[in-house]
């Protein structure tokens, strides 16, 4: 890869890191070509972009954007690295978890995740990342909480009206 090609890859990565608030760094080294292709298809179906790049180019792209912001990610840039970019903070974690279950393996390994300006390092963080609530889930929870008292008040008023309509025996 010549210098110009490296620059193109760095620019592409910078645009992806800017476009998405969430990205996962995984190790796909021990997966077969068939497994990697299957993982790519699942990612495509779930609107998650998967890119493989050299660690030094990933690091240069991150450093050129904001060296301090991504400090916790750099130590994870070793071995074979596949990046998963997503609008959803938890979709890549769900993909990795279900892929592992279906394949009956512990691969691919999660090296790190950058979710909403927080860095999660290590494969042991995968379970926690699958439980992160998305923006829409949080909004739904708030709406549910707000509706609950109103529903109780309406139910109580309807019950009272029903009692008043029923003639006493």
What value does the CA radius of gyration of the chain take, rounded to a whole number of Å? 23
pTM attached to this predicted model: 0.78
* 124-163 residue pLDDT tens: 888 888 887 766 666 776 777 777 777 777 877 788 777 7
Q: State the alpha helices, DSSP H only, in 20-74.
A: 33-45, 55-66
Distance CA 91, CA 47 (A): 9
Specify the pairing of strand 109-115 against strand 118-121.
Answer: antiparallel
Residues 79, 148 share a domain: no
- What's the domain range around 162? 134-168
More confident residue, 137 or 62: 62
Residues 36, 16 share a domain: yes
Distance CA 83, CA 86 (A): 10
Residues 93, 36 share a domain: yes
Residues 144, 114 share a domain: no
Q: Residue 163: how many CB atoms within 10 A of its CB?
A: 9
More confident residue, 33 or 155: 33
Q: How many domains does the chain have?
A: 2
Residues 138, 98 share a domain: no
**Domain CATH number, residue 96:** 3.30.70.1730
Residues 61, 143 share a domain: no
Residues 126, 138 share a domain: no
Which of 20, 19, 22, 16 minimizes the C-alpha distance to 89? 22
Distance CA 20, CA 10 (A): 15
Residue 48, pLDDT > 90, answer yes
Residues 147, 111 share a domain: no
Residue 57, pLDDT > 70, answer yes
Residues 158, 121 share a domain: no
Residues 102, 70 share a domain: yes
* 76-135 residue pLDDT tens: 999 989 999 999 898 999 999 999 999 888 889 999 999 988 899 999 888 888 887 766
Residues 98, 86 share a domain: yes
Residues 155, 72 share a domain: no
């Amino acid at each position: 890869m010549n210098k110009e090609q490296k620059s193109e890859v760095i620019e592409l990565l910078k645009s992806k890191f800017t476009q998405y608030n969430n990205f996962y760094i995984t190790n796909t080294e021990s997966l077969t070509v068939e497994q990697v292709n299957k993982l790519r298809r699942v990612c495509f179906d779930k609107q998650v972009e998967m890119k493989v790049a050299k660690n030094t180019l990933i690091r240069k792209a991150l450093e050129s954007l904001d060296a301090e912001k991504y400090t916790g990610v750099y130590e994870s840039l070793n071995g074979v690295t596949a990046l998963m970019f997503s609008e959803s903070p938890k979709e890549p974690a769900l993909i990795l978890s279900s892929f592992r279950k279906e394949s009956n393996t512990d691969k691919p390994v999660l090296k790190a995740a950058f979710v909403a300006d927080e860095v999660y390092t290590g494969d042991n963080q995968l379970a926690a990342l699958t439980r992160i609530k998305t923006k829409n889930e949080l909004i739904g929870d708030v709406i549910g909480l707000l509706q609950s008292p109103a529903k109780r008040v309406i139910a109580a008023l309807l019950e009272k009206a029903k009692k008043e309509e029923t003639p006493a025996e």
